[in-house]
Amino acid sequence: MPTETFEFQVEARQLLQLMIHSIYSNKDVFLRELVSNASDALDKLRLEALRDDSLDVDVSDLHIDIEADKSARTLTVRDNGIGMSREEVVKLIGTIANSGTAAFLRELKEAQDAKDAASTEGLIGQFGVGFYASFMVADQVTLLTRRAGESQGTRWTSDGEGTYSIEDVADAPQGTSVTLRLKPEDSEDRLHDYTAPWKIREIVKRYSDFITWPIRMAAEPAATASDDAADPDDAEDADDAAKATEPETLNSMKALWARSRDEVSDDEYHELYKHISHDWNDPLETIRLHAEGTFEYQALLFIPAHAPQDMFMQDFKRGIQLYVKRVFIMDHCEALLPPYLRFVKGVVDAQDLSLNVSREILQQDRQIQLMHRRLAKKVLSTIKDMRTSHADRYATFWREFGPVLKEGLLSDFENRDAILGVSSFASTHDAQELTTLREYVERMKEGQQDIYFMTGESRQAIENSPHMEAFRAKGIEVLLLTDPVDEVWVQAVPEFEGKQLRSIAKGEVDLDTEEEKAEADSAREKRQEEFADLLTWMKERLGEHVKEVRLSSRLTVSPACVVSDTHDVTPALQNMYRAMGQEVPTAKRILELNPDHALVTGLNKARAAREGDDGLAETAELIYDMALLAEGGELTDPARFVKLMADRLERTL
Written as one string, the DSSP assignment of 209-230 is TT-SS-EEEPPPPHHHHHHHTT
Grade residue 574 by pLDDT with cuts at 50, 70 and 90.
Answer: confident
> How does DSSP assign 393-407, residue by residue?
HHHHHHHHHHHHHTT
Residue 444: half-sphere exposure toward Cβ, Cα within 13 Å: 19
Residue 105 is predicted with a pLDDT of 58
In the predicted structure, residue 336 carries a pLDDT above the cut 60: yes
84 marked ligand binding residue: yes
Supply the CATH classification number for the domain 514-652: 1.20.120.790
CATH match for 424-505 among 3.20.20.10, 3.10.20.600, 1.10.760.10, 3.40.50.11260: 3.40.50.11260
The percentage of residues in the chain with a pLDDT greater than 90, rounded to a whole number, is 54
Ligand-binding site membership of 33 (annotated) = yes
pLDDT average, residue stretch 478-505: 93
Was 174 annotated as part of a binding site?
A: no
294 vs 303: CA distance, rounded Å: 28
Percent helix, percent strand, percent coil in the chain, to nearest 5? 45, 20, 35
User: Which of 7-16, 25-34, 177-186, 523-532 ranks highest by mean pLDDT?
Assistant: 177-186
Give CA–CA dist 300/346, Å, rounded: 6
Exposed/middle/buried for residue 16 (C-beta within 10 Å: 0-12, 13-18, 19+): buried
430 labelled ligand-binding: no
Helix 391-405 and helix 366-389, axial crossing angle in degrees, nearest 10: 140
Q: According to the model, what pLDDT value does residue 287 have?
A: 96
Q: Is 371 annotated as a binding residue?
A: no
- Classified as helix, coil or strand, 346 is strand
Residue 517 has pLDDT above 90, yes or no: no
Please classify residue 569 by burial: count the beta carbons closer than 10 Å to its beta carbon, then call 0-12 exposed, 13-18 middle and 19+ buried: middle
Range 13-33 average pLDDT: 73
Is the separation of the CB atoms in 254 and 210 below 8 Å?
A: yes
- What is the rounded distance in angstroms from the CA atom of residue 319 to the CA atom of residue 337? 7
Nearest C-alpha neighbor of 19 from the set 194, 197, 183: 183
Residue ranges, comma separated, of all CATH 3.40.50.11260 domains in the chain are 424-505
Residue 519: in which H helix or E strand, if any?
A: helix 514-541
CA distance 368 to 350: 9
CA distances (Å), origin 523, targets 115, 176, 578, 611: 64, 85, 44, 26
| CATH 3.30.565.10, the chain: domain bounds | 12-219
100 annotated binding-site participant: yes
- Residue 106 is predicted with a pLDDT of 64
Q: Where in the chain is the domain with CATH 1.20.120.790?
A: 514-652
Residue 310 to residues 120, 132, 203, Cα–Cα distance (Å):
18, 20, 30
Of residues 243 and 332, more confidence is placed in 332
Local structure of residue 365 (DSSP, 8 states): -
Residue 95's pLDDT is 58
Distance CA 373, CA 297 (A): 13
Residue 514's Cβ-side half-sphere holds a number of Cα atoms within 13 Å equal to: 3
Mean pLDDT highest for which of 105-109, 160-164, 253-257?
253-257
Pairwise CA distance, residues 426 & 433, whole Å: 7
The per-residue pLDDT for 109 is 63
Beta-carbon count within 10 A of 533 CB: 13
State the Cα–Cα distance between residues 425 and 507, nearest whole angstrom: 23
Which fold does the domain 12-219 belong to in CATH?
Heat Shock Protein 90 (3.30.565)
CA distances from 471 to 71, 429, 478, 509, 589 (A): 78, 12, 8, 10, 21
**290 band by pLDDT with thresholds 50, 70 and 90:** very high
| Average pLDDT for 586-606 | 93
Q: What is the dihedral of CA 190, 196, 201, 206, to 10 degrees?
A: 0
Average pLDDT over residues 611-637: 90
Which of 356-368 are b and which e, b meaning 16 or more Cβ less than 10 Å from the residue's Cβ? ebeeeebeebeeb
87-122 pLDDT, tens digit each = 888 877 765 544 344 555 566 566 656 555 444 444
Q: Which of 25-29, 339-343, 619-623 bottoms out in mean pLDDT, i.e. has the lowest?
A: 25-29
Q: Is 26 annotated as a binding residue?
A: no
Confidence tier at 313 by pLDDT (50, 70, 90): confident
Q: What is the C-alpha to C-alpha distance for residues 257 and 101, in angstroms, rounded to an integer?
A: 34
Residue 602 marked as a ligand binder: no
- As a residue count, the chain comes to 653
Which pLDDT does position 128 carry in this prediction?
A: 40
CB 577 within 8 A of CB 584: yes
Would you say 79 is a known binding-site residue? Answer: yes
> pTM for the full model?
0.74
Query: What letter represents residue 29's amino acid?
Result: V
The answer to whether 155 is a known ligand-binding residue is: no
**Would the annotation count 135 as a binding residue?**
no
How far is residue 572's CA from residue 456's CA, in Å, rounded to a whole number?
A: 8
Determine how many CB atoms are found less than 10 A away from the CB of residue 350. 23
Q: Is 130 annotated as a binding residue?
A: yes
Cβ-contact 166, 205 below 8 angstroms: no
Q: Please, are residues 336 and 319 in contact by the beta-carbon 8 Å criterion?
A: yes
Amino acid 580: pLDDT: 73
The answer to whether 359 is annotated as binding is yes
Q: What residues does CATH 3.30.230.80 cover in the chain?
A: 266-389
Classify domain 266-389 by CATH architecture: 2-Layer Sandwich (3.30)
